[in-house]
Amino acid sequence: MIRIFGVVNHTGNQYEMLKLAQHYDVKFSYLENNVRRWTKASARPEPTDWLNSDQFEWVTHYEPGKYDVAILHTDQQHADPAIGKGQLYRQLNELIQDIPKIVINHGTPMWDEMFTEDIVINGGEILDRKGKPRQLDGMKKILGDNFMVTNSYHAVDRWGWGYPLIHGMTGSEWWDLPKEPRSLVQLSPAGLDKYYNRQLLTYIKSYCKEKFGAMPVHIPLDYTPNDWDEQRDILGRSLLFISQQFDSPMSRGRTEAMLSGCCILSSRHDDAERFIENGVNGFLLPDNPISYADTINQLVNYNYKQTVEIGQRGKETALKYFNTERYLKDLYKIVSGVASGNPPAWDGRSTIYDS
Amino acid sequence: MIVKAFTYSKYHGKPPVGSTRLRALQLMKYWPEYTEYQYGEKSDVMIFQKVYIQNDWKWPAKIEGLKILDICDPDWLEGQPVRETLDAMDGVTCPTKAMAEFLAQLTDKPIKIIPDRHDLELVAPLKKHRGHLNSAVWFGYRQNADLLKSAIPVIERLGLELTVISNEDPFVHQWADPKNIKNYHYLKFDEETILTDLAKYDVAILPKGNRPQDRFKSNNKTTLAWLAGLPVVQDAEQLEAMITPTARDRVASVCYNKAIKEYDVKQSVIEMKGFINELTNNNIR
């Protein structure tokens, strides 16, 4: 058995990751902490509700000698120690010295509001709020010898190192329901602006109102699901899903929507062009609000049935590429390899896409 | 023995706030075994500095070792589950008698009053006051600056310059006669320079609060001003008694010496260690 020490990050990501214990001989021990919590109000069921005590446990502290490998989480904002959310990674990384560590880096080096990509990756001298120079360690130094996993091939290129692990989900857990003629977007008001291209979303909303007659339903601003069921319900009943992000390496929301049979309107960034064929199983659009608004208008008002069919082909794509079995197999390869001192190497070729 | 503090600042992912500095970080300087909790660590003693159990975070109740809640604000007024946290602890520390008396209603766990104290290594020799009363200072968090409103009339009558040292400018001049607006100044609070900043003025005006939470407040601002060599006044009568440098020197000297004697943070270290020993012995019994 491989004994894995970990912490909660995004529950959506972790929900899929913890399924590893149902299919492989591993056990997860998660540190309870105040920074990231997994509760009844979280977006996914609590692990103790669906895993047994041989598969998962909460622990109060890290105990050297008790685990084989640790899985920690970062994104580009961990480069700045002044950002509180990085504490968890930094402190556990310092504390855990007896076992190898896998670090899942959920971001790209883009943090335009604060630093250049070079600073985020390699570090350098910056000015603090008082105008005094201070040294910032780049992610390269912060991650050190840890085995860095990214969420897309594109992100490996952007960081300059790393091993890609493309997410996977259980298709049957997503609800493909009769589609309402509406568009939907899922984007938390928290987080980075340019990275998620909030400006484009604002303009898309504006032009949609003008050209289509209604703005996209924005979760959680226009509608806040009380639980996962309500999220799956509104997703499953929406004809279109907008994924306009600029630099998120692999949007989970987009995959959830694809598995729910929504027709995807996606930006061209990151790996989107590797699995979305324009007009076949979704749409790849330029960063232009009029393109989004015109497309939404055409699809909903004049091509509803064809759009449903495109959504179905998108679902087939998601089931093919982003399924749990493939994801867990890839994850186990990483976990077992790192735990045994033989981490996998990536040759730069796609491990899942056709081309 | 490994002693850790889970501080308010750490819990909220913020740079150290006043209570964290006063109640935890200062003590660590003189107590090598006492350090700030880092995620994943295990300790023999955990001191929760203004950190409370939450509906979705029961970790304080689950950890092993001795547990102490250090509470310096009436956070139950903010809706914090103080009672549930107390139930999970072995003991409580707080800075004031009023706080201790209130908490005693909620728990039968041992309660120890450990006043807010200061790091005397940072304190300069007593300053010499010169000239007639000319400048006054108030310092504290912006949200407490309303207390100054009652002091404005006498400040105006005596023609004093008032400087407010705070995290943000509370725009105290809004209560002043517009023609005196130039007499009101704001200085950004800086933990590293607060003692030398305070020492530039003739007197500290710290009006007594009458809000529900004020009865629980400690005297840490008063004692800090004393250590900066300032007399501290609460009302017009006391302020008017500080007109001459002789009067200010006399009061400042008494207060400075009292603070040096009674408000050395090393004493807090001794008291906290003693309390831990007491709780440990209780648990063994």
Chain segment A57-91, per-residue pLDDT in tens: 999 999 999 999 999 999 999 999 888 788 999 99
List A150's β-bridge partners, or say none. Answer: A105, A164
- Of the candidates B15, B39, B64, the beta carbon closest to that of A31 is on B39
Q: Is the pLDDT of residue B67 over 60?
A: yes
Written out in words, the top-level CATH class of the domain with range B3-117+264-284 is alpha beta
Find the chain A residues whose C-beta atoms sit closer than 8 A to any C-beta of B: 7, 31-35, 37, 39-41, 60-63, 82-85, 87-88, 91-92, 94-96
Write down the pLDDT at residue A269. 83
pTM score: 0.89
Name which of B13, B40, B62 is nearest A84 (Cβ-Cβ). Answer: B13
Question: Mean pLDDT in chain A?
Answer: 94
Do residue B59 and residue A34 have CB atoms under 8 angstroms apart? Answer: yes
SS (H, E, C) A234-291: HHHCEEEEEECCCCCCCCHHHHHHHHCCCEEEEECCCCHHHCCCECCCEEEECCCHHH
The pLDDT of residue B62 is above 60:
yes
- Smallest Cα–Cα separation from A93: which of A16, A51, A146, A131? A146
Please check whether residue A252 is in contact with residue A270, taking contact to mean a CB–CB distance below 8 angstroms.
Answer: no
State how far Cα A345 lies from the chain centre.
22
Beta bridge partner(s), residue B66: B45
Q: Averaged over A125-135, what is the pLDDT?
A: 86
Across the range A175-187, mean pLDDT stands at 96
Cβ within 8 Å, pair A34-B64:
no
HSE-CB of B239 using CA atoms within 13 angstroms: 25
**Which pLDDT value is given to residue B103?**
97
Block residue for tokens 């998120």? A248
Query: How many CA atoms lie within 13 Å of A274's alpha carbon, on the beta-carbon side?
Result: 19
What 3-state class would DSSP assign to A217? strand
pLDDT of A270 strictly over 80:
no
- Residue A38 to residue B2: CA distance in whole angstroms: 29
Instruction: Calculate the average pLDDT of chain B.
Output: 95
Closest CA to B5 of B59, B49, B42, B67: B49
Within 13 Å, how many C-alpha atoms sit on residue B186's CB side? 14
Residue B161's SS3 state is strand
Beta-carbon separation of A82 and B40 below 8 A: no
Interface probe, candidates A34, A39, A94, chain B, greatest B C-beta count within 10 A:
A34
pLDDT tens for residues B152-190? 999 999 999 999 999 999 999 899 898 988 999 999 999
Q: Which residues pair with A95 in a beta bridge?
A: none
Is the pLDDT at A297 greater than 60? The verdict is yes
Go through the domains of chain A in sequence order and give each one's CATH number: 2-168+323-339 (3.40.50), 171-321 (3.40.50.2000)
For residues B194 and B219, what is the distance between their CA atoms, to the nearest angstrom?
16
Tell me the two tokens of residue A126. 């910056």
The β-bridge relationship of strands A123-127 and A133-137 is antiparallel
A324-339 vs A11-18: helix axis angle to the nearest 10? 80
Q: How confident is the model at residue A247 (pLDDT cuts 50, 70, 90)?
A: confident
Any residues with CB less than 8 A from the CB of A107 and at least 6 apart, and which? Answer: A74, A75, A76, A77, A155, A195, A248, A249
Measure the CA angle with vertex A309, ends A253 and A299; round to 5°: 75
Predicted-complex ipTM score: 0.87
CB–CB of B160/B151 below 8 Å? no
pLDDT at B210: 84
Strand order, beta sheet including B232-233: B184-188, B161-166, B135-139, B203-205, B232-233
Interface test with B, best of A61, A132, A134 (most B CBs within 10 A): A61
Could you read off the pLDDT of B100-122 as tens digits, one per residue? 999 999 999 999 999 999 999 99
pLDDT surpasses 70 at B284: no
Are B62 and A96 a contacting pair at CB < 8 A?
no
Q: How far apart are CA A324 and CA A17, in angstroms?
A: 9
Q: Does B42 touch chain A (CB under 8 A)?
A: yes
Judged by CB atoms closer than 8 Å, whether chains meet at A82 and B15 is answered as: yes
Distances (CA, A) of B35 to A261, B31, B62: 53, 8, 20
Residues of A in contact with B13 (CB under 8 A): 35, 83-85, 87
The 3-state DSSP class for residue B72 equals: coil
Average pLDDT of A254-273?
93
Task: Report the distance separating Cα A227 and Cα A42, nearest Å.
Answer: 8
In eight-state DSSP terms, residue B183 is G
Q: Domain B121-262 carries which CATH code?
A: 3.40.50.2000
pLDDT of A33 above 90: yes
List chain B residues with CB under 8 Å of A7: 39
CATH 3.40.50.2000 range(s) for chain B read: 3-117+264-284, 121-262
CB-based contacts of A342, cutoff 8 Å, min separation 6: none
The Cβ of residue B185 has, within 10 Å, a number of other Cβ atoms equal to: 15
pLDDT, mean of residues A177-183: 96
**Are B203 and B242 contacting, i.e. CB atoms less than 8 angstroms apart?**
yes
Spell B245-262 as b/e; 16+ CB within 10 A means b. Answer: bebbbebbbebbeebbee
Residue A322 near residue A168 (C-beta atoms within 8 A) = yes
Strand segments (E) across A107-160: 123-127, 133-137, 147-150
The shortest CB-CB distance from A39 to any of B39, B56, B64 is to B56
* Chain B contact set for A85 (CB, 8 A): 13
Q: How many C-beta atoms surround the C-beta of residue B285 within 10 A?
A: 5
* Contacts for A43 with CB less than 8 Å, ≥ 6 apart: A11, A12, A228, A231
